[in-house]
Amino acid sequence: MAEIKETDKVVIIDESTTKTKFYTKKTLYPAGEKNLMKKSAKTYRKNFLAVLGLNVESTLFVVKNLDEFEFAKALFRIKRFYADSDEDKKVLDKLITNCTLSNKEITTKFEKREDNPEFIEKIGRSLKNNVKDKSMVLARKIGKHCKRESTENKKIREEIKKNHFFELIDEYGIEEQFKDDRMVLMLDNAPSHTSTFVLEIAEKLNICLTPLPKYAPWLNCVEKVWDIIKYQIKLSIIRKSSELVNLVFKTFNKKCKSGFFNRTTSQTSEKF
């Protein structure tokens, strides 16, 4: 457990996937009419990240997924929400906007990399050792090597994206700018929270990630928030995805106002 200073901003976070289910509910109707009412015509799914402040206000974000890259981006968004100055917010806005690479940008960065001599030697050995193979067999063997050395390789794509995050952090001088703005963030031990990449990003943002004990979800007060939200979803008729998002934000702001929840933000969900 990290030592908490008086000037630290302390929050506790948790992620959850909320969704509606297609189901029907028995209802009393006059004789001769159908006694089934459709509650939700489709299944809608959204991922959310709740941030409950212990000495600051709380907030809620919609996140694309729950992997380490999206969580690293969420750390930028959390840091931006609690930033003290407009200058800090502008820098973090640039970081949030530019940290996601498209497939075309990943390919462009890959093409700028230096040649891999080991790969060239491997292709040469493969041609030499399989010279008697038919052309189709030889093409398949070489194709496997080429696929491992292209953007189709998941590890290469992840390496490019990680390097891009650190390049932006260095370019915008994030580490130096936030060296005196420390935040303590308590969270569970999900794989995306404990990866080396996320830990390095948090260190550069001056965020101290403090994991809660394993197999102890009752210690995370955000779990109670999800219980309240999911109960409200069960009671509601959801006709489209935006209604699900609005309901989650509305419930978060109105229901979570006791104890640590008394500083919930009035943030609305404009983008989802």
pLDDT tens string for the chain (272 positions)?
A: 567 777 889 999 999 988 876 554 555 555 555 555 555 557 888 999 999 988 888 899 999 988 999 999 999 999 999 998 999 999 999 999 999 999 999 988 888 777 767 767 777 777 777 777 777 777 777 777 677 777 778 888 999 999 999 999 999 999 999 999 999 999 999 999 999 999 999 999 999 999 998 888 888 888 888 998 988 888 888 888 899 999 999 999 886 654 445 444 444 444 43
What angle do helix axes 154-171 and 68-81 make, rounded to 10 degrees? 20
Q: How far is CA 246 from the centre of its chain?
A: 19
Q: HSE, CB side, 13 Å, CA atoms: give it for residue 36.
A: 5
Tell me how far apart the alpha carbons of residues 236 and 247 are, in angstroms, rounded to a whole number: 9
pTM over 0.75: yes
**pLDDT confidence of residue 258:** 44
Tell me how far apart the alpha carbons of residues 271 and 264 are, in angstroms, rounded to a whole number: 19
**pLDDT confidence of residue 82:** 93
Please give the backbone phi and psi of residue 130, each rounded to the nearest 5 degrees, phi first.
-120, 30
Burial state string for 19-29 with b = 16 or more CB within 10 A and e = fewer than 16: ebeeeeeeeee
Tell me, what DSSP letter sits at residue 5?
P
Please give the backbone phi and psi of residue 24, each rounded to the nearest 5 degrees, phi first.
-120, 155
Q: Are 138 and 130 in contact (CB under 8 A)?
A: yes
Tell me how far apart the alpha carbons of residues 181 and 56 are, in angstroms, rounded to a whole number: 14
Tell me, what DSSP letter sits at residue 181?
-
**pLDDT confidence of residue 264:** 44
Tell me how far apart the alpha carbons of residues 91 and 168 are, in angstroms, rounded to a whole number: 10
Tell me how far apart the alpha carbons of residues 199 and 205 are, in angstroms, rounded to a whole number: 10
Comparing C-alpha atoms, which of 18, 13, 78, 59 is closest to residue 228? 18
